[in-house]
Amino acid sequence: MGNDTTGQLAGHRAFITGGASGIGAEMARRFTREGATVVVADVNDTLGKQVAVEVGGEYVHLDVTDSQAWQKLIPTFEPFDIVCLNAGVSTHQNVIGNISNFPLEKLDNDAYERIMSINVDGVVYGARAVIPGMVARKSGHILVTASLAGIIAIAPDPIYGLTKHAMVGLVKSLGPALEPHGVCISALCPGFLDTPLVSELAREYAKSFSMGVMEISIAGDLAMRALTERIPGSQWTVMAGQPICQYIPAPPFS
């Protein structure tokens, strides 16, 4: 996995939030290799512009928590075939990097409002901004970067888990709602990838669960799998040493 390309995105336009680093930057690189043109959106202008130059795309400054910025920006850049609502943060500086004596001990209002505004509001505002154009064109695919923490427990950072479970729930419900309009939405739920959010403590935590930390190139493979399969409301996951697969929870009633 990693560098095999098929050119299957030739002629496509992609918009990626949080595109300056980590998963977003990797998707920008992979989509470009697959033939797409990319708009990188971020609040880190220096790194965002570097990624845009690297992939021959465009850069735009966007604070995903600013609903008005979304409404102003999207109409000027549309149409997009792929929109990656990827920008996200952990509760503290790093995932699993702020040791506490008990859960929520160090969760002040500022930290809580920051993660909720970026991880939840930013995705909702983004979806709200791009869906009308996609529905009008009867095409398009929205990729939401959730996490394995949106499927399983993440005891060291319950609020991060809350936001990622919220994203999985949003995608599950938007999937069938968008399907009649020709628009697909999928959630990416990887385990630990080698990004700036993953602290040394997180790496040790991953080892303790035999998960390991994956090369960032896996993010591109995961995104391409979701785009290729195009299953409305689907969740796609991968852990170190395991193949990419669709996560299908058991129904509560049989």
- Annotated catalytic sites, by residue? 147, 160, 164
Q: Is 230 exposed, middle or buried (0-12, 13-18, 19+ CB in 10 A)?
A: exposed
* Tokens standing for residue 245: 């697969």
CB atoms within 10 A of CB 120: 18
Spatial distance between the Cα atoms of 189 and 199, rounded to a whole number of angstroms: 19
Q: Identify residue 29 by its one-letter amino acid code.
A: R
CA proximity to 186, closest of 216, 226, 225 = 226
CB atoms within 10 A of CB 250: 5
What one-character-per-residue DSSP string does 135-161 give? HHHT--EEEEE--GGGTS--TT-HHHH
Q: Do the strands 234-238 and 245-247 form a parallel or antiparallel pair, or are they unpaired?
A: antiparallel
93, amino acid identity: Q
- For the chain, count helices (H), then strands (E): 8, 8
CA distance 146 to 11: 27
Give the length of the chain.
254
